[in-house]
Amino acid sequence: MPVQTERRMRLPPDPRSPGQARRMLLDALDAPEYDSVVDTTVLLASELCENSVLHAGTEYEIELRVTDVEVTVTVSDRGAGPLEVHLAQPRRLYGRAAAHGRGLTMLQRLATVWGTRHEADGTHRTWFSLLLAPADGTPPLPAEPGGSGPVPAGPDAERTRWLLHVPTGLVDRLEPAELVAELVRRLREVLDAASVVVEVDDGDGTGLQELARSGGPGPTGAGALELALPTTAPLRGVLRVTGVTGPARTARELGELVAHRVAMAVESAWLRGVDQRRRAWMTYLAETSELLSQSLDVELAVAVVPQVVVPRLGQWCAVHLADPLGRLRLVALTHADEDHLPELRAELDPGGRPGLGGELRDRLTELLRDDGAGSTARFALPTDGVAVALRARGRTLGTLVVGRHAGRPHSPEDVVLIGDIARRAGLAIHNAQSTAAHVDVSQALQQALLPRALPVAPGLDFAAQYLPATAGSDVGGDFYDVLTIDPAHWLVSIGDVCGKGARAAARTGLVRDVLRVLVRDGRTLPRAVELLNDVMMDVDDPLQFCTLAAAQVSRPGPGGPGGFDVDLLLAGHLQPVLVRAGGTAELIGEFGTAVGLIAQVQLHATRHRLAPGDTLLVYTDGVTERRRGREQFGSDRLLAAAAGAAGQPAAQLVEAVRSAVERFSSDPRDDDIALLAVRALPQ
């Protein structure tokens, strides 16, 4: 397509040369048909020219080609291109964009097409094109008055309007830092200054950082101007102008106008960043709470805390918990660089060498003694950081210690967030500790409901196993017991109280102890169970009934046959298994009424012979009702497993049955399992 306008200019690597390029472009595009692209063209070309001056350090050339459909600008130099410079720029995790390296981002967002290439002779070219009319064919919008154009030479009012008025259509497409850069360029051109620089402090502890610059370093002293940006605390900034040649009063007045416009852009960007960070922190804290609440195990809850802190809020993080004597111990530690962990652990572990000492130890000790919630302390060794007390329910549990990132101190916002995480972590750790204490009490209660050890009886071999459905705080209702009545008689019992928890544990202890007392006083098994039923009915809690299998094992008198007699009574309980020494197994006993359900129970005592080598196996319904999908373990598998261990010691028979049940299903147990075997030893 035919070229309507073509301009080319070679410029030195001088800070003032981008201004010459801008004037050349404005002069070439000074026609109504170019009003839709002139502002964007000048802005993008200015960025590329300043990149060449700043990074290439060689002469560069700017070329303009205008056809009937597009405007193309190419900037060529013999140094590193903006792409390499952009990739080499360090990226800040927080805060503003870098003062340079934004050109490629603007090209990508504002240009119709753009590209970059290296020639064989070392020349680097960056180009962009802009369509003269929208793609849908509609005519371009008319230019706004006071837009880009050569610096007016007329009255001050015209110069001021040109200085401050960037067209709305372009402003809407620019980032605040990009708008500030354009304002800085215009101020420098109006004042014919050596340089104009804007520096801003976000209040994050890093101090003033350069946001935009036009021109190179200029002379100080005469012709220098420094103006504070009228921003709201903690945001602050300064606009510096060097090498002003015109009247000082005019320079200050124009500088103040630009400073106000720059402050509006900077403050708008800062407020938007604050809102984005606040949203991000709210999400972060919600995720932290979810992570901390996922486990009621103390070690897991503590281990999560440093992981959510590093690296977002610090370079490293440690958690110390206090023991009952108030002594600290290191329970969790992480560092962004794992190679530093051994050295850091040695510094922070109170029990290590050199161990926790000096300033940090004093700070943590003060936090433990301080009763105020949200207490914080700063320290300088082993690195700068913040320590926060972990508190919950009015009690100090320990401390959360966070070391700062290299080169970035903790901001007030960081300290607030660390305190918030400490409160959430303290509550999670307290809940985990409370749960652990509850579990310990429950497990101790569970063990108290079982015999500490089975008795040793001549001619008899006892063995038992108890497998709770959970290792948590729920106390199961299954129990077993072996009581030596006298040297020739033993009470063997196993039962299952309905339900779990403290009520079931209380009823289990009642059944076991009342049965023991009644049998030891000489009552027969039927009479003892009837009286036990009366006691349970007096409690008047129909949901706490109990199934029970009780057997009195007796040694025959002198001259009698070998083995033992077994008087068996089943009160709603499953039939025991009698395993013969020869390898057979059968269910024995007659069903009766469970205790605690009705006032009058129906009981049937049966007598059986336990010959030498025979074993009596009693169990709870967690064995036969073990499920694999819709299928149950059942009595047939129980008999087969027991018969397979015939003739073996009681402990091996119990283990064989337990293993068979566990192999049947790998699903978590949903009911307790109790197994008790009594074997008559071979003679």
Any idea which residue has 């071979």 for tokens?
A: 682
Whether residue 579 sits in one domain with residue 481: yes
Burial 246-278 (b: 16+ CB within 10 A, else e): eeeeebeebbeebbebbbebbbebbeeeeeeee
Q: DSSP letters along 326-394, please?
A: S-EEEEEEEESSGGGHHHHHHHH-TTSSS-S-HHHHHHHHHHHH--STT-EEEE-SSSSEEEEEEEETT
Question: Three-state DSSP class for 474?
Answer: coil
**405 φ/ψ angles, rounded to the nearest 5 degrees:** -70, 150
Domain that holds residue 214: 152-292
Q: Is the pLDDT of residue 132 over 60?
A: yes
Q: What is the bridge-based pairing of β-strands 585-587 and 60-67? A: unpaired
Whether residue 498 sits in one domain with residue 398: no
Domain's final residue, options 88, 113, 143? 143
Question: Three-state DSSP class for 29?
Answer: coil
- 471 falls in which pLDDT band (50, 70, 90)? low
Instruction: Provide the pLDDT for residue 274.
Output: 82
CATH classification at residue 283? 3.30.450.40
Q: Give the sign of the dihedral formed by CA 169, CA 173, CA 177, CA 181.
A: negative
The 10s digit of each residue's pLDDT in 379-390 is 887 888 999 999
Q: Residue 343 burial by CB count (10 A; 0-12/13-18/19+): exposed, middle or buried?
A: exposed
The 10s digit of each residue's pLDDT in 510-560 is 899 999 999 999 999 999 999 999 999 988 777 779 999 999 999 987 766
Q: What is the residue type of 197?
A: V
- The residue-averaged pLDDT of 265-287 equals 87
Please say whether the beta carbons of 360 and 387 come within 8 A: yes
The 10s digit of each residue's pLDDT in 665-675 is 988 888 889 99
Q: Is the pLDDT of residue 155 over 60?
A: no
Instruction: Provide the pLDDT for residue 92.
Output: 40
CATH classification at residue 54? 3.30.565.10
Q: Is the pLDDT of residue 144 over 60?
A: no
CA atoms within 13 A on the CB side of 510: 21
CA atoms within 13 A on the CB side of 80: 11
Note whether residue 559 is domain-resident: yes
- 463 falls in which pLDDT band (50, 70, 90)? very high
- 142 falls in which pLDDT band (50, 70, 90)? very low
Whether residue 652 sits in one domain with residue 504: yes
Please say whether the beta carbons of 560 and 610 come within 8 A: no
CA separation for the pair 147, 677 (Å, rounded): 99
CA separation for the pair 579, 641 (Å, rounded): 10
Whether residue 173 sits in one domain with residue 47: no
Note whether residue 297 is domain-resident: no
Any idea which residue has 């306008």 for tokens?
A: 5
Provide the number of structural domains found in the chain.
4
Q: Which of 458, 480, 478, 460 is nearest to 468 (CA)?
A: 478
Domain's final residue, options 424, 443, 462? 443
Structure tokens, 217:
């370093």
Note whether residue 203 is domain-resident: yes
Please say whether the beta carbons of 101 and 86 come within 8 A: yes
CA separation for the pair 341, 17 (Å, rounded): 53
The 10s digit of each residue's pLDDT in 573-621 is 999 999 999 999 999 999 999 999 999 999 999 999 999 999 999 999 9
Task: Report percent pLDDT > 70 for the chain.
Answer: 89
Total residues belonging to the chain: 683
- 87 falls in which pLDDT band (50, 70, 90)? very low
CA separation for the pair 470, 670 (Å, rounded): 8
Whether residue 640 sits in one domain with residue 538: yes
Whether residue 204 sits in one domain with residue 313: no
- Cα–chain center distance at 61: 53
The overall average pLDDT reported for the chain is 85
Q: Residue 313 burial by CB count (10 A; 0-12/13-18/19+): exposed, middle or buried?
A: buried
Whether residue 312 sits in one domain with residue 285: no
Whether residue 528 sits in one domain with residue 660: yes
Please give the sequence-ordered ranges of beta strands (E in DSSP) within 517-583, or none if there are none: 546-554, 564-571, 577-579
Whether residue 335 sits in one domain with residue 259: no
CATH classification at residue 515? 3.60.40.10
Whether residue 228 sits in one domain with residue 175: yes
Q: Is the pLDDT of residue 104 over 80?
A: no
Instruction: Provide the pLDDT for residue 405.
Output: 87
Contacts of range 230-236, beta carbons closer than 8 Å, 24 or more positions apart: 230/259, 230/260, 230/263, 231/263, 231/266, 231/267, 231/270, 232/267, 233/203, 234/201, 234/202, 234/203, 234/412, 235/200, 235/201, 235/202, 235/203, 235/266, 235/267, 235/270, 236/200, 236/201, 236/203, 236/208
The 10s digit of each residue's pLDDT in 431-449 is 988 888 877 777 777 777 7
CA separation for the pair 506, 512 (Å, rounded): 10
The 10s digit of each residue's pLDDT in 291-322 is 888 888 888 999 999 999 999 899 999 999 99
Q: What is the residue type of 516?
A: R
Instruction: Provide the pLDDT for residue 660.
Output: 96
Domain's final residue, options 111, 143, 175? 143
- 339 falls in which pLDDT band (50, 70, 90)? very high
Any idea which residue has 């560069």 for tokens?
A: 60
**End-to-end Cα spacing for the chain:** 116
- The residue-averaged pLDDT of 138-142 equals 48
Question: Three-state DSSP class for 43?
Answer: helix
- The set of residues, in sequence order, having a beta carbon less than 8 Å from that of 631 and lying 6+ positions away, is none
- The set of residues, in sequence order, having a beta carbon less than 8 Å from that of 350 and lying 6+ positions away, is 320, 327, 328, 329, 330, 356, 361
- The set of residues, in sequence order, having a beta carbon less than 8 Å from that of 489 and lying 6+ positions away, is 552, 553, 554, 555
Note whether residue 298 is domain-resident: no
Higher pLDDT, 89 or 19: 19
Note whether residue 514 is domain-resident: yes
CA separation for the pair 645, 636 (Å, rounded): 15
Note whether residue 220 is domain-resident: yes
CA separation for the pair 199, 266 (Å, rounded): 10
Whether residue 78 sits in one domain with residue 128: yes
Structure tokens, 636:
């047939």
Note whether residue 267 is domain-resident: yes
**501 φ/ψ angles, rounded to the nearest 5 degrees:** 95, -165
Q: According to the per-residue pLDDT averaged within each range, which of 84-93, 238-247, 501-510 is highest?
A: 238-247
- 468 falls in which pLDDT band (50, 70, 90)? confident
- Point out which residues pair with 320 in neighbouring strands: 330, 399
Look at 131-140, 220-229, 561-570 and tell me which has the smallest mean pLDDT.
131-140
Please say whether the beta carbons of 501 and 474 come within 8 A: yes
Question: Three-state DSSP class for 603?
Answer: coil
Whether residue 282 sits in one domain with residue 250: yes
Structure tokens, 523:
């009552």
Note whether residue 367 is domain-resident: yes
Q: Is the pLDDT of residue 158 over 80?
A: no
Instruction: Provide the pLDDT for residue 491.
Output: 97
Instruction: Provide the pLDDT for residue 96.
Output: 40
